């Protein structure tokens, strides 16, 4: 327990068996943008017993509020997106071969030969690839256009698959030593953390948790969620790529990394969509230092989070993002460290208990 008298007592959330089980359930669920039903059901089940108000809005965001107690409570919005990248079936061809489009940013070179799950029934399919025996040397140098690929479902599915159905990579959640490997760690890690923070909400603030839809296709759910909540400040909680592998070229240093595994939560100062509010950068870094939580600054560059639209909502909302770094984002399998997840959760809690009305009334130093 900290000695700062302003800090409201609230139990620090920890990662244990039930948190792993929840993250596993969330990662194995499918929720490609615009069809977040499965993750939404899990979220609702978890938040209904602890939240004071729960609403599902017209786009499918889950908006859960837990009120604090006492005077002058700051309204703090936390956002984590429920959706994941994936595919949409667009056309049926003979032999149950299906044409598809990508939903969200996926490198088409990642697709041939991958197992996928299609529709709400998780029907098993595979993205076909021409065997190497049949390809010419010239073909092997080129990437294969998505419109020439098909999801092969086989005869057993009958006509269960229709245009509009979503598909995801079939990767299953697994803990391997200090690491978690799964699809959709972006952003089921964030969803899992928001659920924990609602369960351990400190009393000094009103906690407004937005489990958003359609982040991967343009931050669409967060825009309406922020409008509805009309918060005083916001934190987007996400997972960001760790490009931290050693270099195998003749360069002696990887200068492109934006975060590294094992170095703790990634605090954003700027990304392509948002410049973080300086007061919130200070809140997070001070909280980390006071609680001895490791952290890193996410290096500016590509990508963005729900904060990209939240900060521009209504008359402007001071915003920042915090992410768990994970390798191989937007591919069939991501890899993150349990410690980075645990430390991100600790940091968010440490920051929330330090939020006071003075934080935002103070001089803007940004």
Residues classed as catalytic:
215
C-beta of 43: minimal distance to Zn ion in Å? 16
Buried b (16+ CB within 10 A) or exposed e, 132-159: eeeeeeeeeeeebeeeebbbebeeebee
Q: Least CB distance from residue 105 to Zn ion, whole Å?
A: 10
Instruction: Find the part of the chain contacting Zn ion (CB under 5 A) among 100-108, 233-241, 295-303, 334-342.
Output: 233-241
**By C-beta, is 51 or 324 nearer to Zn ion?**
324
Nearer to Zn ion, 187 or 271 (CB): 187
Residues 38, 83, 187, 263: which binds Zn ion (CB under 5 A)? 187
Cβ neighbours of residue 312 closer than 8 Å, sequence gap 6 or more: none
Map residues 238-277 to x or -, x wherever contact with Zn ion holds by CB under 5 A.
Answer: x---------------------------------------
Q: Closest distance between Zn ion and the C-beta of residue 340, in Å?
A: 15
Under the binding rule (CB under 5 A), the answer on residue 38 touching Zn ion is: no
CB nearer Zn ion, residue 65 or residue 321 = 321
# of chain residues touching Zn ion (CB under 5 A): 3
Q: Which stretch binds Zn ion (CB under 5 A): 27-35, 194-202, 234-242, 268-276?
A: 234-242
Q: Does 83 bind Zn ion (CB under 5 A)?
A: no
Cβ pair 299, 242 in contact under 8 A: no
How many angstroms separate the CA atoms of 329 and 106, rounded? 9
Which residue, 125 or 241, has its beta carbon nearer to Zn ion?
A: 241
Minimum separation from the CB atom of position 306 to Zn ion (A) = 8
Q: Give min distance, CB of 34 to Zn ion, in A.
A: 15
Q: How far is CA 16 from the centre of its chain?
A: 20
Q: Which of 46, 186, 263, 306 binds Zn ion (CB under 5 A)?
A: 186
> How far is residue 94's CA from residue 196's CA, in Å, rounded to a whole number?
47
| Closer residue to Zn ion, CB minimum distance, 287 or 305 | 305
298 to each of 132, 157, 292, 306, how far by Cα in Å? Answer: 40, 44, 19, 16
d(CA 230, CA 313): 8
Per-residue tokens: 4: 């700062």
Identify the CA nearest to 340 among candidates 257, 272, 238.
238
Residue whose C-alpha is closest to residue 115's, from 144, 148, 153: 153
Window of 32-40, 61-69, 237-245, 309-317 that interacts with Zn ion by CB under 5 A: 237-245
> What is the chain's Cα-based Rg?
21
Q: According to the binding rule CB under 5 A, does residue 206 interact with Zn ion?
A: no
Stretch that binds Zn ion, among 106-114, 125-133, 230-238, 256-264 (CB under 5 A): 230-238
Q: Are strands 179-182 and 174-176 parallel, antiparallel or unpaired?
A: antiparallel
Q: Which is nearer to Zn ion, 165 or 187 (CB)?
A: 187
Among 279, 294, 295, which residue's Cα sits nearest to residue 362? Answer: 279
- Sole window of 35-43, 184-192, 204-212, 275-283 interacting with Zn ion (rule: CB under 5 A): 184-192
Total residues belonging to the chain: 366
Question: Is there a contact between 117 and 124 (Cβ–Cβ < 8 Å)?
Answer: yes
- Report, in Å, the least distance between residue 215 CB and Zn ion: 6
Helix, strand, coil percentages (3-state) for the chain, rounded to 5, are 30, 25, 45
**Cβ distance to Zn ion smaller for residue 204 or 214:** 214
**CB 313 → Zn ion: shortest distance, Å?**
19
Cα–Cα dist 238/191, whole Å: 8
Q: Which residues bind Zn ion (CB under 5 A)?
A: 186-187, 238
């Amino acid at each position: 327990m900290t000695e700062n008298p302003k800090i409201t007592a609230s139990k620090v959330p920890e990662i244990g068996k039930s948190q792993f089980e929840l993250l596993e359930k969330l990662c194995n669920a499918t929720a490609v943008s615009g069809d977040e039903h499965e993750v939404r059901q899990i979220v609702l089940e978890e938040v209904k017993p602890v939240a004071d108000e729960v609403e599902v809005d017209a786009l499918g965001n889950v908006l859960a509020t837990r009120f604090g107690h006492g005077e002058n409570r700051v309204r703090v919005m936390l956002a984590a997106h429920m959706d994941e990248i994936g595919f949409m079936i667009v056309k049926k061809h003979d032999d149950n071969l299906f044409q598809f489009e990508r939903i969200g940013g996926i490198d088409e070179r990642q697709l041939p030969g991958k197992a996928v799950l299609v529709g709400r029934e998780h029907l098993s399919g595979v993205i076909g690839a021409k065997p190497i025996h049949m390809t010419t040397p010239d073909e092997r140098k080129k990437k294969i256009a998505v419109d020439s690929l098909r999801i092969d479902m086989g005869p057993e599915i009958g006509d269960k698959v229709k245009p509009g159905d979503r598909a995801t990579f079939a990767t299953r959640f697994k803990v391997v030593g200090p690491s978690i490997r799964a699809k959709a760690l972006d952003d089921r890690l964030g969803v899992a953390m928001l659920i924990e923070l609602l369960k351990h909400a400190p009393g000094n603030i009103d906690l407004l948790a937005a489990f958003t839809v359609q982040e991967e296709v343009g931050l669409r759910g967060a825009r309406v969620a922020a409008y509805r909540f009309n918060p005083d400040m916001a934190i987007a909680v996400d997972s960001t790529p760790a490009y931290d592998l050693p270099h195998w070229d003749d360069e002696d240093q990887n200068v492109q990394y934006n975060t590294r595994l094992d170095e703790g939560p990634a605090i954003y100062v700027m990304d392509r969509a948002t410049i973080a509010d300086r007061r919130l950068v200070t809140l997070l870094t001070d909280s980390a230092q006071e609680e001895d939580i490791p952290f890193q600054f996410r290096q500016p560059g590509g990508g963005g989070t729900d904060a990209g639209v939240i900060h521009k909502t209504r008359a402007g909302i001071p915003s920042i993002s915090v992410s768990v770094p994970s390798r191989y984002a937007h591919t069939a399998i991501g890899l993150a460290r349990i410690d980075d997840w645990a430390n991100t959760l600790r940091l968010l809690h440490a920051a929330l208990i330090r939020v006071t009305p003075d934080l935002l009334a103070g001089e803007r130093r940004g």
